[in-house]
Structure 1
Amino acid sequence: MSRSELDALARRWMTFWQGADLVDFTALHTPDFVDHAAAGRPSTREGFRDGVAALYRAFPDFHARIEDLVIDEAAAKVVVRWSATGRHAAPFMGVAATGLTLDFRGLEMLHCRDGRIAARWGEWDGESLLDQLRA
């Protein structure tokens, strides 16, 4: 994939993080997609989708912004540093809904193939979220 195709795919991928819309989810991820997150859920496309749906239930107005985008065209990988906000409206990480608007920060590395995401490695600042939930 070209640099511009990788850029466009990563930006399109980030749009599905804008408020509980999973319409493009299947189109964006290869059937053999692998999620390399340490989230305790299946590493499959369906497991990742379930995790995203759980996030949407807890934060229905979740809105992410791209802070930085780094592209390695030769490896077909994109790294996204992002920030987000969302109002805590349902249980999350074992904490009942607080109504608080939380700040999120994280990194995603996406391996792309044939115009879709084939693998994802993602990390976010869970400790900061717990601190905000306890406040």
Structure 2
Amino acid sequence: MSLEDIAQRWMQFWQGGSLASFGDLHAPHFIDHSAAGRAADREGLLQGIRDLYAAFPDFHADIDLLAVDVSKGLVTIRWSATGHMHGRFLDAEPTGRLVGFSGIEIIRVREGQVVDRWGEWDEPSIREQIGAAPRA
């Protein structure tokens, strides 16, 4: 499977896809370098995805840009997404509003599994859209 195929498969978790293959795609020693206050292992990332879908059940992400560095096993993914807020998120109560998200992910792949992840998103914009207090 190519790095691009793995990245496409990985992004399916952020598009409401089944999480059944999450453990198969992530190495047991997976490290989330942008853990956002949660455990930096694959269980922490999985819980983060579940929490996101609890708040935004219709969350859907699209890939805007995909860049592959085969020699380093790295894939960079620029994405944009939307979802209606129906659960608590970033300490804000549900609003029902349609929220726009954007971010970037870098994943490192070894032997067909994701071993590292770095991710950033536009949290100030999200906080503004949902009425959450700015991060201190």
Report the TM-score range of the alignment, normalised by the length of the smaller protein: over 0.9
Specify the code of the residue in structure 1 equivalent to 2:40: S
Extract unaligned runs of 5+ from structure 2.
none
CA distance in structure 2 between the aligned counterparts of 1:54 and 1:64, rounded to whole angstroms: 15
1:35-54 equivalent positions in 2, closer than 5 A? 35-54=32-51
1:102-121 equivalent positions in 2, closer than 5 A? 102-121=99-118
CA contact (8 A) 2:35 2:45 kept: no
Extract unaligned runs of 5+ from structure 1.
none
CA contact (8 A) 2:85 2:97 kept: yes
CA distance in structure 2 between the aligned counterparts of 1:99 and 1:52, rounded to whole angstroms: 19
Structure 1 residue ranges (4+ consecutive) displaced by more than 4 angstroms after TM superposition: none
Q: Are 2:24 and 1:27 aligned?
A: yes
CA distance in structure 2 between the aligned counterparts of 1:58 and 1:98, rounded to whole angstroms: 10
CA distance in structure 2 between the aligned counterparts of 1:11 and 1:50, rounded to whole angstroms: 20
Shift of 1:21: 2.9
CA distance in structure 1 between the aligned counterparts of 2:130 and 2:107, rounded to whole angstroms: 29
**Structure 1 residues 45-94: Cα deviation after superposition (integer angstroms, max 9, x where no partner):** 11111111111100111100000001011000000000000110100000
Q: Are 2:71 and 1:74 aligned?
A: yes
TM-score, length of structure 1 as denominator length: 0.93
Specify the code of the residue in structure 1 equivalent to 2:84: R
CA contact (8 A) 1:20 1:53 kept: no
CA distance in structure 1 between the aligned counterparts of 2:3 and 2:35, rounded to whole angstroms: 25
CA contact (8 A) 1:16 1:24 kept: no
RMSD between aligned residues:
1.4
